[in-house]
Amino acid sequence: MPSKFNFPKISNFIVYIHEFDKFDESGNQKCRNHNCMKSVCKPFRKYCSKKCSIQFTKWYNANFYWRNIRNQVLKRDNYTCQICGIVLHRKKRFNKPLKNWLECDHIIPKSYYYHLGYQFDTLDNKVKTILEFIHNGNNLRTLCYKCHKNLSANVVSDRSKLLNPYDDTN
């Protein structure tokens, strides 16, 4: 069934580290760090100094690795489901006998990014989308598997109602 909404599909919201590589007009490589425009120098292949290398690596790992973001949210929420209040062990394998475990949920689903004005077409827009929407702690919460499954079951029907509120075919 074709969708009546035309918006891009992004299978993975990923900003790869190599996308931060910069070059000057002569093709010489510049430091990968955000506000640094110095040339890369030995022994560094992508940075001008050890300081820039460490700064960029910490920033990139903290903001673009989902595992790190997820762990921050679970810890912030004290490993407690924000709907039912169950407290589970942070490691999935310890909760398997309960057939329940902790997951990190997007309060506003990732699929809404385009409708909220976010784009994934340029590096600047990718970074903005990831930092302000996809990996934003204010849009993330801890849920147990059972609550997350129940909540997610309604997302598709709710999305169509929100995107086209005057459509009575739902």
Q: Against a cut of 0.95, is the pTM above it?
A: no
Domain coordinates in residue numbering, the chain: 18-64, 66-170
Per-residue pLDDT of the chain (170 residues; tens, 9 = 90+): 444 455 555 557 888 999 999 999 999 999 999 889 999 988 989 999 999 999 999 999 999 999 999 999 999 999 999 999 999 888 877 887 888 889 999 999 888 888 889 998 999 999 999 999 999 999 999 999 999 998 887 776 666 655 555 555 54
Q: What are phi and psi of 42, to 5 degrees?
A: -70, 150
Contact 23, 120 (CB under 8 A): no
Q: Could you give the CA distance from residue 43 to residue 25 in angstroms, rounded to a whole number? A: 23
